[in-house]
Chains A and B, each alone.
Chain A
Amino acid sequence: MDKRIPNLAEAVAGIPDGATVMIGGFGGSGAPIELIHALIDRYLATGSPKDLTVINNNAGNGHVGIAALIEQGMVRKMVCSFPRSADPRVFTEKYLAGEIELELVPQGTLAERIRAGGAGIPAFYTPTSYGTDLARGKPVAEFDGRPYVQERWLKADFALIKAELGDHYGNLTYRMAARNFSPLMAMAAARTVAQVTRAVAPGGIDPEHVVTPGIFVSGIVEVANPAQEEALNRAEAAHPPARPQEVQA
Chain B
Amino acid sequence: MTTKLSNAQIAWRAAQDIADGAYVNLGIGFPEMVAKFQPPGRQAVFHTENGVLGFGEAPPAGEEDWDLINAGKKAITLKPGAAFFHHADSFAMVRGGHLDVAILGAYQVAQNGDLANWSTGPKGVPAVGGAMDLVHGAKRVAVITDHVTKDGKPKLVEACTLPLTGVGCVTRVYTSLAVVDIEDGRFVLREKLATISLDDLQAVTGARLHLDGAVGDLVVPEL
Among residues 74 to 104 in chain B, which have CB atoms less than 8 Å away from a CB atom of chain A?
Answer: 84-88, 90-91, 94-95
B176 within 8 Å of A (CB atoms): no
Q: Contact at A132–B125, with CB atoms within 8 Å?
A: no
In this complex, what residue of B is CB-closest to A104?
B126
Among residues 57 to 95 in chain A, which have CB atoms less than 8 Å away from a CB atom of chain B?
Answer: 81-86, 88, 91-92, 95
Q: Contact at B66–A230, with CB atoms within 8 Å?
A: yes
Q: Contact at A88–B69, with CB atoms within 8 Å?
A: no
- Given A27-B73, A179-B84, A184-B87, the answer on whether A84 and B66 have CB atoms closer than 8 Å is no
Q: Contact at A182–B67, with CB atoms within 8 Å?
A: no
A27 to B166, CA, bound (A): 25
A150 within 8 Å of B (CB atoms): no
A178 to B86, CA, bound (A): 9
* A residues near B129, Cβ cutoff 8 Å: 81-82, 106-107
Q: Contact at A176–B68, with CB atoms within 8 Å?
A: yes
B19 within 8 Å of A (CB atoms): no
B52 within 8 Å of A (CB atoms): yes
Contact with B along A19-51 (1 / 0, CB 8 A): 000000011111000000000000000000000
Nearest-Cβ distance from residue B53 to partner chain A, whole angstroms: 11
Interface centre among A27, A86, A102, A128 (most CB of B within 10 A): A128
Among residues 143 to 198 in chain A, which have CB atoms less than 8 Å away from a CB atom of chain B?
Answer: 174-184
In this complex, what residue of B is CB-closest to A116?
B88
Q: Contact at A177–B67, with CB atoms within 8 Å?
A: yes
Q: Contact at B136–A81, with CB atoms within 8 Å?
A: no
The SS class assigned to the B binding surface is loop
A86 to B69, CA, bound (A): 14
B128 within 8 Å of A (CB atoms): yes
In this complex, what residue of A is CB-closest to B65?
A176
A132 to B168, CA, bound (A): 12
Q: How extensive is the interface on chain B, given as a class? A: 35 or more
Q: Contact at B132–A132, with CB atoms within 8 Å?
A: yes
Q: Which of A81, A134, A175 contacts B130 (CB 8 A)?
A: A81
Among residues 195 to 218 in chain B, which have CB atoms less than 8 Å away from a CB atom of chain A?
Answer: none
The SS class assigned to the A binding surface is mixed
Interface centre among A84, A111, A228 (most CB of B within 10 A): A111
- Given A131-B164, A177-B52, A177-B84, the answer on whether A30 and B127 have CB atoms closer than 8 Å is no
Q: Contact at B136–A115, with CB atoms within 8 Å?
A: no
Q: Contact at A176–B91, with CB atoms within 8 Å?
A: no
Q: Contact at B67–A29, with CB atoms within 8 Å?
A: yes
Q: Which of B49, B67, B90 contacts A30 (CB 8 A)?
A: B67
A85 to B71, CA, bound (A): 12
Contact with A along B93-125 (1 / 0, CB 8 A): 011000000000000000000100001000011
A207 to B69, CA, bound (A): 27
B38 within 8 Å of A (CB atoms): no
A127 within 8 Å of B (CB atoms): yes
A129 to B119, CA, bound (A): 13
Q: Contact at A81–B127, with CB atoms within 8 Å?
A: yes
B219 within 8 Å of A (CB atoms): no
- Given A107-B128, A126-B95, A128-B132, the answer on whether A112 and B65 have CB atoms closer than 8 Å is no
* A residues near B131, Cβ cutoff 8 Å: 106
Q: Which of B73, B88, B127 contacts A104 (CB 8 A)?
A: B127
Q: Contact at A177–B163, with CB atoms within 8 Å?
A: no
Contact with A along B134-166 (1 / 0, CB 8 A): 001100000000000000000000000001111
* B residues near A102, Cβ cutoff 8 Å: 125-126
Q: Contact at B85–A95, with CB atoms within 8 Å?
A: no
Interface centre among B84, B127, B137, B165 (most CB of A within 10 A): B127
* B residues near A133, Cβ cutoff 8 Å: 119, 163-164
Q: Contact at B126–A128, with CB atoms within 8 Å?
A: no
Among residues 29 to 84 in chain B, which have CB atoms less than 8 Å away from a CB atom of chain A?
Answer: 48-52, 64-69, 73, 84
Residues of A bordering B, CB below 8 Å:
26-30, 81-86, 88, 91-92, 95-96, 102, 104-112, 114-115, 126-134, 174-184, 211, 228-231
A30-B67, A211-B86 given; name 9 further pairs at CB < 8 Å. Answer: A106-B131, A108-B130, A115-B88, A127-B136, A177-B68, A180-B50, A180-B86, A181-B86, A231-B66
CB pairs A–B below 8 angstroms (7 shown) = A27-B73, A84-B127, A92-B124, A102-B125, A107-B87, A132-B166, A134-B128
